[in-house]
Structure 1
Amino acid sequence: MIPGGEEILHATSLAIDGKGLLILGPSGSGKSALALRLIAYGAGLIADDRTGLRQGPGAPVAFCPAAAIRGLIEARGLGLLQVQPAAPAPVVLVVDLGCDETERLPPRRHITLLGYPLPLVLRPQNDHLAEGLLVWIRGGRQE
């Protein structure tokens, strides 16, 4: 944690319709690959591999912590790609690619970041994660 209620995480962050998605996971877990799929669907890149979080009204706000990485995303085997950077956005959903989901209909999970409880999704064992995350952020999840 850095002074002023900010923190820098090993994470990739995206903006979808002004809402932030935070992608956690160890190196090589597919954070950038998932982000590239979401960018292809119209998401905006806030930050790849290192994401800053600061306190916001009701949710932590994801931002790019360094000008040197703004608008850049790593595509393994292709190099660093340039994309239009997105503005900071309040995080509404977190996905952790370091933990596998084993449930077909998983229970609601949460993670606390900067004191805010946020919905947490684990890596499902299917190939529709990007699409499912887009639908969740745009429409929510059934109670």
Structure 2
Amino acid sequence: MGKRLLAGAPAAICGLIEARGVGILRADVVTEVQLHVIVDMGQLETVRLPRHLEGQILDIALPRLNRVDGDYFPAALIQYLKGGAIDPEGEPKLR
């Protein structure tokens, strides 16, 4: 298995989530998680079936997605993490 990138919350906010318009919410604590994908919220995806992109964090390559303006985007991200995606050029992504 290759290198993995792990992330965790700082102690001051561990177990808390800010939900805009709702407030600060309590959440079950997970000490660390493996990162599987980069979502670039600064770049808008305009292509219907985009090519697979890759980004680097600390010299570790991860698949990269751009932000999509659509109410379905959070659900699509969850499904992406569960099952991966098919590259329009035929290569599977994430799995």
Bin of the TM-score, shorter chain as denominator length? 0.7 to 0.9
Gaps of 5+ in 1: 1-56
Higher fraction of strand: 1
Structure 2 residue corresponding to 1:132, chosen from 53, 59, 76: 76
Give aligned-pair identity as a percent. Answer: 35
Give deviations 1:16-42, integer Å, cap 9, x for gaps. Answer: xxxxxxxxxxxxxxxxxxxxxxxxxxx
Question: What pairs up with 1:1-143 in 2 under 5 angstroms?
Answer: 58-64=3-9, 66-142=10-86, 143=91
> CA shift at 1:77, angstroms?
2.6
Q: TM-score, structure 2 length as denominator?
A: 0.81
What is the aligned-residue RMSD (CA, Å)? Answer: 1.4
Instruction: Find the aligned partners of 1:125 and 1:104 in 2 and give their Cα distance.
Output: 12
Distance apart, 1:125 and its partner CA: 2.5
Task: List 4+ stretches of structure 1 deviating above 3 A.
Answer: none
Give the counterpart letter for 2:70 in structure 1: N
**CA distance, structure 2, for counterparts of residue 87 and residue 136 of structure 1:** 23
TM-score, structure 1 length as denominator?
0.56
Amino acid at match of 2:51: P
Offset from partner CA, 1:64-108 (integer Å, 9 cap, x none):
1x2110011112232211111223121111112111001101111
The amino acid of 1:105's aligned partner reads: L
Select the structure of larger CA radius of gyration.
Answer: 2
Unpaired runs of 5+ residues, structure 2, are: none
Aligned length: 86
Structure 1 residues 77 and 125, CA, compared in 2 at 3 Å: closer, same or farther?
closer
Give the CA deviation at 1:135: 1.1
Amino acid at match of 1:100: L
